[in-house]
Structure 1
Amino acid sequence: MALPGLGATALVLLPPVSWGAWQYGLLALEFALFLALPAALGLLLALLSRRPRPRDTHPRVTLALAGLNAALLAAALAPAVSLWSTARAEGTPLRLSEYTAGPATSADRAPLTLEYAEADGEPLVLDVWEPVEPADAPLPVVVNIHGGADDLPQSLLPRWDTWLADGGDSETGATGTDPQRRVVFDVDYRFFPDDDWAAPVRDVRCALGWVHENAAEYGGDPERIAVSGQSAGALLALLATYSSDHPPSCDTGVPEVAAVVAWYPGTDVTADAADLPWRLLRSPVNDELTELEERMMGGSLNEIPQEYAAMSPVRLVGPNTPPTLLLTAGHDLFLSPEDNRRMAAALDKAGVPHHHVELPWTEHMYDLNWGGFASQITRHAIDGFLREHH
């Protein structure tokens, strides 16, 4: 009974030996409550075996196993307890019944897929997610930008797209009794070509222009556009909206946006950046990421520091920066929470409306677990933030 918890604890706490090990660690942490069941049963069995037995019984062994399972039980409950505290601070009503809702990798319907531009001979596409219930007036628009450490497709976690479109109804995680429906455009882009890190920024700005020109055709209000992104997509969302330094990769004008939602973004890659987590520094995954970074940047930080500064949203914050919601994973393999804390401080200093939600014992890409407590808190934060600023 102790073995599942031991394996999961190692995956969560130790440096991952591969991408696959990190993915298993992500699942172990985000579904940690399920690991409480074998630990509780193991503790019960160990305590029962302490009753008088024949002389070949080893009481110290059973006592040790009881202690081990008790520790694993506490470890399995710790993420939920810490997130429960965060939920209280955020005013989020958590529902244990939603914890078994499964992953966010599927939706109850399919989107409309359209080509919004072409760049270097590559078609650029986006998915349009409209609410199930039609609206009498134009709806606010959300442009979402997926993340990933590879060239992944748009609408990576479509359950979030339909939730945003439908306004958080009772089946998808309601945050209020008055749903705010939206039109969602989930955007694909060129994934950081070698020596051209700004190519996806230009693509996102192109997509924003296309959405502004075409949103009304799908029931959206072109003057009420918010941008959301996860991981690499969050970085692109910040870069594409905080600065006009990068012209769009198509012939269009780029609108000002009403708000930005950035899920676990990296905001500083300069020499002044916060230290990376020790788990990443001791993992072979870091070598792959460093190679990818230097390839897309066209050199190392020491060789072209100005390019790294240009790719650091914390350096772009100013009084005209759009309202920003930062969502930080507290146990992120790839990013120290201090990174987003510094970003929040920069926004505060510049007088930019913002909100920072730090989710303890939560891993990068936690939103894969649709019913997880971190995802429930996130839905509440996004809905409230967009209602205020969108």
Structure 2
Amino acid sequence: MIRFYFILAFFLIALLNFFKAPSYHFWLLAIGVTELPFIFAAIAALLTVTGFWVNKYQLAGTILGLVTVIIFLSPIIRAYWIATDIKADMAAALSTKQSDDTPLSFSKLFKSAKNDPYKTIKYVQYQDTALNLDYYQSKASGKRPCVIVVHGGSWAGGDSKQLPELNTYLAERGYNVAAINYRMAPKYQTPAPVEDIQATIAYLNKHADELHIDTNEYVLLGRSAGAQIALLAAYTLHEPGLKGVVDFYGPADMVWGYSIRSNPLIMDSRKVMEDYIGGSYFKVPQKYVACSPLEFVSSKSVPTLIIHGENDVLVSREHSRRLNLKLEQNGIKHYWLRLPWATHGFDYNLNGPGGQLSTYAVVTFLNNITQK
């Protein structure tokens, strides 16, 4: 009987592969369930095989256990379906040849990602604060493109050391990476972080020779709140050397985002936005428009890569749908990678099903918009 209840509990946990997490801690669990599927599948399988030595409730528990194992493994199955089409889809969307890279490797699912050392540099000194960036030097020689990474954290938390494995991976693939810190809410409000990106580019341009940077080859990459900052900077700064922007599950329509409150058991989205923008939409509607990236998409906007999970509980995929539509209407080269099982922050495991596909998409995108 105890075995059956354990299997039932794991079955309910496995449903996070298909349904959105109902609370904060279930959201954290969902990241592990979807991006470390073998661990959960192995536990469920172990509980299932014990049924061969247990008489009571053996059949019901065994059947439920087998179903649970399959559900836990479903992100891998669905990732393989996406992997079969992503090469051709990205080639068509970006008007280029298919990449030779492998979108999904079974063996990598069991490996951990590398995290190489980096150099911390102060890139700007304001009157009341200084900001640093973590610089990952490209492993390739000569002047190389530079990816500027903007961390997430609801505009009020996080730092440049967030999810560093992708930075290391990109450096190994020939890109310089500058993971930046920026001024955060509630002390600082929009557009301060966009100004910090501008200060970052100014610093990198000034020190391009010593940092081996090709100043004509910048790409912005942001996650969550950092994606909103990166998108807004990409579409408003008009930096001549900026070649594109990568958006990991970012809020692109701040007006619509304020109108749809997120699950309060996970995050008070309106409070977060008010701290960053400086008041409610009803008090400062013009500021919500001014920091909505999709409001600034035009026929001259830079190429854009959008990556979003269908089960995101912090930033609705509707943001990405709206941004994708606006990019289509303006004829901007772009690609939207949809991950049906994934939730917010899925890419914490670079070698998970979502992590591998998103990394492939990022590298393919970078290779096609830069002259690396």
What is aligned with 1:153?
Answer: 159
The Cα of 1:194 is off from its aligned counterpart by 4.3
Runs of 5+ unmatched residues, structure 2: 1-5, 88-101
**Pairwise mapping of residues 123-142 of structure 1 onto structure 2 (< 5 A)?**
123-133=130-140, 135=141, 137-142=142-147
Counterpart of 1:89 in structure 2: which amino acid? Answer: D
| 2:309/2:340 contact within 8 Å kept | yes
Q: 1:122 and 2:129 equivalent? A: yes
Choose 1 or 2 for highest CA Rg.
1
* Equivalent of residue 299 in structure 2, options 315, 319, 333: 319
Distance 1:272 1:225, change over 3 A: closer
Deviation per CA, 1:161-195, whole angstroms, max 9, x where unpaired?
1111110xxxxxxxxxxxxx121111110113347
Which stretches of structure 1, 4 residues or more, deviate above 6 A after TM superposition? none
| 1:212/1:223 contact within 8 Å kept | no
Distance 1:233 1:271, change over 3 A: closer
Quote the sequence identity (%).
Answer: 28
| 1:116/1:207 contact within 8 Å kept | yes
* Equivalent of residue 115 in structure 2, options 99, 107, 119: 107
Q: 1:87 and 2:97 equivalent? A: no
**SS at structure 2 position matched to 1:128:** strand
What is aligned with 1:365?
Answer: 345
Counterpart of 2:182 in structure 1: which amino acid? Answer: Y
**SS at structure 1 position matched to 2:124:** strand
* Equivalent of residue 272 in structure 2, options 292, 317, 320: 292
| 1:275/1:336 contact within 8 Å kept | no
* Equivalent of residue 66 in structure 2, options 70, 92, 95: 70
Runs of 5+ unmatched residues, structure 1: 51-56, 168-180, 246-253
The Cα of 1:116 is off from its aligned counterpart by 0.8
State the TM-score, normalized to the length of structure 1.
Answer: 0.82
Deviation per CA, 1:17-39, whole angstroms, max 9, x where unpaired?
44x44323322222123211222
* Alpha-carbon separation, structure 2, partners of 1:131 and 1:244: 25
| 2:198/2:237 contact within 8 Å kept | no
| 1:194/1:297 contact within 8 Å kept | no
Aligned length, in residue pairs: 349
* Equivalent of residue 264 in structure 1, options 215, 240, 249: 249
**SS at structure 2 position matched to 1:284:** coil
What is aligned with 1:376?
Answer: 356
The Cα of 1:151 is off from its aligned counterpart by 2.5
| 1:329/1:358 contact within 8 Å kept | yes
* Alpha-carbon separation, structure 2, partners of 1:240 and 1:155: 21
Deviation per CA, 1:219-254, whole angstroms, max 9, x where unpaired?
111111111111111111111110149xxxxxxxx5
* Alpha-carbon separation, structure 2, partners of 1:376 and 1:301: 38
**SS at structure 1 position matched to 2:254:** coil
**SS at structure 1 position matched to 2:179:** strand
What is aligned with 2:231?
Answer: 238
Q: 1:209 and 2:202 equivalent? A: yes
Distance 1:37 1:383, change over 3 A: same
* Alpha-carbon separation, structure 1, partners of 2:295 and 2:258: 11
**Pairwise mapping of residues 337-348 of structure 1 onto structure 2 (< 5 A)?**
337-348=317-328
What is aligned with 1:185?
Answer: 178
| 1:208/1:255 contact within 8 Å kept | no
What is aligned with 2:316?
Answer: 336
The Cα of 1:273 is off from its aligned counterpart by 7.7
Distance 1:365 1:270, change over 3 A: same
* Alpha-carbon separation, structure 2, partners of 1:120 and 1:67: 65
Counterpart of 1:161 in structure 2: which amino acid? Answer: N
| 2:79/2:104 contact within 8 Å kept | no
**SS at structure 2 position matched to 1:362:** coil
* Alpha-carbon separation, structure 1, partners of 2:126 and 2:11: 48
* Alpha-carbon separation, structure 2, partners of 1:194 and 1:220: 32
